[in-house]
Amino acid sequence: MERNEIGEVRDTAQKNRRKPGKWILQGMLLLAVGIMLLPLCMLAADSLMGRQELLETCGGVLAGTKETVRFRFFPSYPTLQAYVRLLLDSPEYFTAFWNSIFQTVGILLGQLVVAVPAAWSFARFRFPGKRFLWFLYMLLMILPFQVTMVSGYLVLHTLRLLDTRWAVILPGIFSTLPVFILTKTFAGISGELIEAAQMDGAGSLRIFLQIGLPLGKSGIFSIFILGFLEYWNAIEQPMTYLRTKSLWPLPLYLPQMGNQEISTVFAASIVTLLPAVLCFFYGQEYLEQGIVASGVGKQRNVRTDLHNNNGQFE
């Protein structure tokens, strides 16, 4: 009994020692979240202000003087006038908005047709040059856009696709990151399940459609979410490959709105932000499942290699 009491006292002392560290960590996280949310709150509040109130809060900064910005969590006289001007009197904004829609949806649909079968092939088939091709995929994945920009420009110029929507859509369709994520996801599917389907007479296409796609749903949704967040906010590719302003997406159009009412610019930023925020919150669970599935697939690959090599690496 005495030993148990001593153990309980020690556990209580250890818990009490951990509490200050836990509080400090929580405080730091709350501070970081507050710093990230402050600009968004300020943007939302300014989009609801009238012209006079905006001049009072940030007029000095807009005029180029040394006055500081006055932050208000909620406008004194809230109004939706900026959103009315944006949604009813700004046809250029709608053009840029639909350009972003066509660009993003086109890339995602193309990745569904290209990346998903490619990932299934890497995960489930053996073919000559597989390792070398996978190495090329990994090499292209880590290369930034600035490295491949010139070569991509030359290829698009040769195909006469510059200054068209396809100049942005086609390179995005053949992106390597979705293939990498889905390959790990498909590799986590049980091999016994595939063998059982083959014994029942199922062909490769049927296995892919009826087993691979349903079980890889989390990974497919995760690449859709990541792809939407990436290409909805893409600015370098359109800036490099598009010259006609009527083809510009929102990331290129928003900086050109400086000649309009500042509240309208704030409202445009909020409306542009909403699809990405809704996509993230709606697909957060699928994104987490896809990342977990990729990790599980990697662990299963390691276990399979160990089993095939009798517990020894090559």
Residue 293: per-residue pLDDT: 63
Give the separation between CA 34 and CA 292, rounded to whole angstroms: 28
Q: Is residue 85 part of a domain?
A: no
Q: Is residue 145 part of a domain?
A: yes
Instruction: Say which residue the tokens 């509240």 belong to.
Output: 263
116: domain CATH number?
Answer: 1.10.3720.10
Residue 232: per-residue pLDDT: 92
Q: Is residue 84 part of a domain?
A: no
Residue 265: per-residue pLDDT: 86
Q: Is residue 314 part of a domain?
A: no
Give the separation between CA 214 and CA 220, rounded to whole angstroms: 10
In this structure, the number of other CB atoms found within 10 A of the CB of residue 182 comes to: 29
Residue 96: per-residue pLDDT: 92
> How many domains is the chain partitioned into structurally?
2
Both 269 and 123 in a single domain? yes
Name residue 313's amino acid: F
| Parent domain of 103 | 90-308
pTM score of the predicted model: 0.78
Residue 37: per-residue pLDDT: 82
- Series of mean pLDDT values for 10-residue runs along the chain (314 residues): 50 58 81 83 83 73 63 79 86 91 94 92 87 87 86 90 92 89 85 85 86 86 89 91 90 81 85 87 75 54 41 34
Residue 139: per-residue pLDDT: 87
Domain boundary among 22, 49, 79: 79
Name residue 32's amino acid: A
Both 203 and 133 in a single domain? yes
Give the separation between CA 257 and CA 92, rounded to whole angstroms: 10
In b/e form, how buried is each residue of 119-156, taking b as 16+ CB within 10 angstroms? bbbbbbeeeeeeeeeeeebeeeeeeeeeeeeeebeeeb
Helix, strand, or coil here: 179? Answer: helix
First-last CA distance in the chain: 54
Helix, strand, or coil here: 202? Answer: coil
Domain boundary among 15, 48, 79: 79
Helix, strand, or coil here: 160? Answer: coil
Residue 259: per-residue pLDDT: 66
Q: Is residue 304 part of a domain?
A: yes
Both 146 and 176 in a single domain? yes
Q: Determine contact, residues 117/110, Cβ cutoff 8 Å.
A: no
In this structure, the number of other CB atoms found within 10 A of the CB of residue 161 comes to: 17
Residue 98: per-residue pLDDT: 93
Q: Is residue 298 part of a domain?
A: yes
Domain boundary among 47, 79, 111: 79
